A and B are shown apart, each in its own frame.
Chain A
Amino acid sequence: MTLSEIADGKLAPRLGIKLDNISKRYGDNTVLDDVSLHVEPGTVTALIGPSGAGKSTFLRCINLLERPDSGTIQVDQHTIEPGKDVNSRDLAALRRTVGMVFQSFNLFPHMSALKNISFPQQKVLGRSKDEADERSMQLLERVGLKEKAHQHPGRCSGGQQQRIAIARALALDPSIMLFDEPTSALDPEVGLEVLAVMRELAADGMTMIVVTHEMQFARDVSDTLVVMADCRIIEQGDPRAIMSDPQEARTRRFLRAVLER
């Protein structure tokens, strides 16, 4: 069974997402300036760029962990205008459709790995404990951590914690997965375990948006490379084309810094 077959045990539909004219300010400080991005179903989009460019903020605007000041978010039949009041039904629907993986994992430290994955299924999807546990075990096995089911996160390495966090997000049958620098807090070698799981997920056709500094991953796995700098998207397109022949001077400078070190 592939990861996505497990991921859509209830056949979560493959969805894309359209973000238009997203702006975000903190006081006088603009962090996102009219950013638009359309992601096709089943594609992988890598977001790269210098720190402070607004990549993470943009990603966090997608599931409204940050509330943009203006713009629209369109998923499936839902259109959300975060600048106005968002009703709780729309917000719940959005967050059910979109799963997220954090740089710092954010597993619940007082729950076992199994409980971390099962508890949200029970509360959000209303699955019984047995159903949820069965699903959690499938996912744990798939990310290679079945034997860690009854351990608490504190007893797992960073790479293992991040794979548990991915399983936790997948257990809710998301159609779209957001990854916020999923390997940045990990040793390079340990990061490979996580990247391997992500590659598999991408190969299975999950719609993914990944903020990353892993250029190899961005080049090999993503369908679209998006370069952000100074609160906006400065360039996007085929990853190999951009990496070998960037059109913008700012992109060139950034790529030189990360590729030729």
Chain B
Amino acid sequence: MTWLTEWAGYLPQMMSGLSVSLLIAGVSIVAGYPLGLILSVMVSAKNLAVRTLALAVVEIGRGAPALVILYLFYYGLPKFGIAFESITAACLALIWNSAAYSSEIMRAGIQSVGRGQLEASNALGLAQRHTFFRVVLPQGLRSAIPGLMGVAIQMFQGTSLAYAIAVPELMKSAYNIGSQDFNYLQIFTLAGLCYAAISMPATWITVFFEKRLARHA
């Protein structure tokens, strides 16, 4: 029972950390996914320069650990006179990360739309932009939904990296509490439960959506 009473005492501080974590995750998804969509289109562009640029952004975002990008934004950029608050740097790094991962998922979704759909659009005489935005994209994004939800969960867990640059998110709150009375076991167990309390229901929702989409496919 002592754990529960201790946890109850920690909760207010943990909740403020959790809200910062959720904020960072929310920003990185809300800003990252639209960027990811733009990148996914640019990656298949005819123009070589556009394609190369997009590919570089995507591959760096996926290839480098998020922590490296985080450090580059926070510790590296001040060298060029660009300094961010720690939470801004965390958001920017995770936006890059989520844009890179989501762009690949959206690209795969877009490519999975059948050739027959393009042929029907062409035969009807629909303009390229109508074909893309009204026929291909809605179908492609629909099949990308489960993957995108998976990335969203990954992004939420990735916010714990922001601890490394002293953003007052969930891990930071836990560490601060722990260093006061050295109850590390209790506090980090609680932190794990907080992450799980968000991630697990989100996973269930993803599975539900996967099943629903499979049924309508």
Instruction: List the interface of chain A (C-beta within 8 A of B).
Output: 63, 65, 92, 95-96, 98-100, 102, 104, 106-110, 119-120, 123-124, 154, 168-169, 172
Task: Known contacts A102-B116, A123-B130, A154-B216; decide if A108 and B123 are in contact (CB<8 Å).
Answer: no
Cβ of B120 within 8 Å of any chain A Cβ, yes or no, is yes
Q: In the complex, which residue of chain B has the Cβ closest to the Cβ of A178?
A: B123
Residues on the B chain within 8 Å of A123, using CB: 126-127, 130, 134
Assembled-state Cα–Cα distance A98/B124 (Å): 9
Interface of B is mostly: helix
Residue of B nearest to A100 (CB): B123
Q: Is the CB of B119 within 8 A of A65?
A: yes
Residues of chain A within 8 A (CB-CB) of B142 are: 110
Tally of A-B residue pairs with Cβ under 8 A?
Answer: 49
B residues contacting the other copy or chain, number (CB 8 A): 18
Query: Which residue of chain B is the closest to A97 with respect to CB atoms?
Result: B125
Known A102-B116, A106-B117; judge A95-B122 contact (CB<8 A): yes
Is B130 a contact partner of A106 (Cβ separation < 8 A)?
Answer: no
Q: Is the CB of A99 within 8 A of B216?
A: no
Contact of B134 among A63, A96, A119 (CB under 8 A): A119
Q: How far is the CA of A107 from the CA of B123 in the complex (A)?
A: 12
A154 CA to B138 CA, complexed, in Å: 16
In the complex, the chain A residue whose C-beta lies closest to that of B114 is A106
Pairs across A and B, CB under 8 Å, 11 listed: A98-B123, A104-B116, A106-B116, A107-B120, A108-B117, A108-B139, A110-B138, A110-B142, A119-B134, A120-B124, A154-B216
Contacts of B138 in A (CB 8 A): 110
Complex Cα gap A100–B114 (Å):
17
**How far is A168 from B134 in the complex, measured between Cα atoms in Å?**
16
| Complex-state Cα separation, A120 to B124, whole angstroms | 7
| A-contacting residues, B120-166, CB 8 Å | 120, 122-127, 130, 134-135, 138-139, 142
CB distance from A92 to the nearest CB of B (A): 6
Are B119 and A120 closer than 8 Å at their CB atoms?
no
Contact B124 A169, beta carbon cutoff 8 Å: yes
Minimal beta-carbon separation of B84 from chain A (angstroms): 41
What separation, in Å, do the CA atoms of A169 and B135 have in the docked complex? 16
A110 contact set on B, CB distance < 8 A: 138-139, 142
Q: A106-B120, A169-B124 are in contact. List 16 more A-B contacts (CB 8 A).
A: A95-B122, A99-B123, A102-B119, A108-B120, A108-B135, A108-B139, A109-B139, A110-B138, A110-B139, A110-B142, A120-B124, A123-B127, A124-B125, A124-B126, A172-B124, A172-B125
Please state if B139 and A95 are interface contacts (CB–CB under 8 Å). no
